[in-house]
Amino acid sequence: MASIQLSAVEKWFGDLQVIKGIDLAVEEGEFVVFVGPSGCGKSTLLRIIAGLEDASEGAVIIDDNDVTGNLPSERGLAMVFQSYALYPHMDVGENIGFALKTAGMPTADIKDRVDKVAAILKLESLLDRLPKQLSGGQRQRVAIGRAIVREPVGFLFDEPLSNLDAALRVNMRLEISRLHAQL
């Protein structure tokens, strides 16, 4: 996993400053969580790191490279959102491998990567199911699988547990910790 550094990052929406000069260093392999009340800028900060939102001031540095002006696709990060954004007409395997297919990867290589990710996330028996046939926790694992299969340099999770019930939240926290150690 990559190191990520934020240097004096600010974000303004008109006259409203929502990110106020954030300086942060996340070392390679570290697991960092942003905690705060609703509306404090956590999601905005993640979107700035991912390149989905421009910083008004400051710099985003990934592995010692200033990527502040780079497109999201040039940052090598994967982001998992609160909403799963699974394609309802595609089965689990197709959902996980979709980004690889659109990138033109050979079918055999896609299958190998999808199978590897499915094993990591314990989804092997679900590869032929549609999203509507999955539980909330299974859908969340598919969304995480879509991120992992791309082999990014880092992962950003925006409220990955908010749509789950209390019991599933506890289980997914353990799963995410296990994945962090494994990846």
Q: Please tell me whether the overall predicted TM-score, pTM, comes out greater than 0.75 for this model.
A: yes
Distance of CA 41 to the CA centre of its chain: 17
Say yes or no: do domains 1-75 and 84-182 share a fold: yes
State the amino acid at position 102 in one-letter form.
T
Q: For residue range 35-57, what is the model confidence (pLDDT) as tens digits?
A: 889 889 999 999 999 999 999 99
Greater confidence (72 vs 141) lies with 72
Residues 109/150, Cβ–Cβ less than 8 Å: no
pLDDT of residue 16: 95
**What radius of gyration, in Å, describes the C-alpha atoms of the chain?**
17
Sequence ranges of the domains in the chain = 1-75, 84-182
- Segment holding 144, helix H or strand E: helix 136-148
Homologous superfamily, domain 84-182: P-loop containing nucleotide triphosphate hydrolases (3.40.50.300)
Give the right CATH number for 1-75 from 3.30.56.10, 3.40.50.300, 1.10.1300.10, 3.30.200.20: 3.40.50.300
Q: For residue range 172-181, what is the model confidence (pLDDT) as tens digits?
A: 777 777 777 7
Would you place residue 155 in the very low, low, confident or very high pLDDT band (cuts 50, 70, 90)? Answer: confident
